[in-house]
Copies of this chain bind each other. A is one copy, B any other.
Amino acid sequence: MVKSYSSEDIQNMDHRKRALFINSLSGFKSANLIGTRTEKNVDNLAIFSSVFHLGANPPLLGMISRPDSVHRGTLANIEKVGFYTINHVNKNNYIKAHQTSARYTDSVSEFDACSINKEQNKDFPHAPFVRDSFVKIGMKMVKTVKIELNDTVLIIGEIKYISIDEDIVSPSGYLDIEKLGSVCVSGLDSYHTTKRLSRLSYAKPDKEPSEIGECN
């Protein structure tokens, strides 16, 4: 049974219900652990479902920091240190990853509190990586954009370092992140693995899309 909601219906929802409802609407989201370091050398880790592709040349990723305590620490560290890491959440570590959203005090490292193995990398020493993540990205902050409408901040960073299993890099450049068990999120708290329907050829007006072999 199809139901319609007006602006007023949304406005009148209980605020917790609205948060879950609206968070589910955009579709599936990426699941990433953001590694940062405080000025006092505490390694911080927080799950974000808002990392998105911004451009390939220069290689840029964006993410949204919300004005609550978990994200505030990450944003403060990024602004002070200038670097951070992005680590894919996978089906083996999503429960521990979710636990990083608890409000630990600033002196506690989520690596310890959530029993997540840390990797220090000499090629990108500015921030900690998640050892058990199969896609690890070293980021340099380029710019922050304050969104006054709701007090959020868009953090834009440039990719400076990538560590990934070579087996899932296809000759074309496509990465089979499904094979690595990377998960996606819906709403605030639902985690999903994926099953490929197909890869489709570059669309042209006079041609129907055809399937691309996974290894291309």
Question: Given that A10-B59, A204-B102 are contacting pairs, would A163 and B19 also be in contact in the complex, using a CB cutoff of 8 Å?
Answer: no
Contact of B143 with A149 in the complex, beta carbons under 8 Å: yes
The chain B residue with its CB closest to the CB of A10 is: B59
Specify which chain B residues have a CB less than 8 angstroms from the CB of A145 in the assembled complex.
145, 147, 154
Contact of A161 with B95 in the complex, beta carbons under 8 Å: no
Which of A37-45, A72-80, A174-182 sits within the interface?
A: A174-182
* Contact pick for A212, options B22, B99, B173, B189, CB 8 Å: B189
Contact of B166 with A1 in the complex, beta carbons under 8 Å: yes
Contact of A197 with B189 in the complex, beta carbons under 8 Å: no
* Interface positions of A from 66 to 122, Cβ below 8 Å from B: 66, 86, 88, 91, 94-95, 98-104, 108, 113
Chain A, interface size category, equals: 35 or more
* Contact pick for A191, options B5, B173, B188, B197, CB 8 Å: B197
Question: Given that A22-B53, A191-B196 are contacting pairs, would A209 and B175 also be in contact in the complex, using a CB cutoff of 8 Å?
Answer: no
The chain B residue with its CB closest to the CB of A121 is: B4
* Contact pick for A162, options B4, B51, B54, CB 8 Å: B4
Contact of A6 with B161 in the complex, beta carbons under 8 Å: yes
* Interface positions of A from 118 to 163, Cβ below 8 Å from B: 123, 135, 137, 142-143, 145, 147, 149-150, 152, 154, 156, 159-163
The chain B residue with its CB closest to the CB of A137 is: B25
Contact of A123 with B30 in the complex, beta carbons under 8 Å: no
How far, in angstroms, from A27 to B164 measured CA to CA in the complex?
13
Specify which chain B residues have a CB less than 8 angstroms from the CB of A10 in the assembled complex.
59, 159, 162
Question: 11 A-B Cβ contacts within 8 A?
Answer: A6-B160, A17-B173, A52-B52, A53-B64, A95-B200, A103-B205, A145-B145, A174-B189, A184-B194, A190-B199, A191-B196
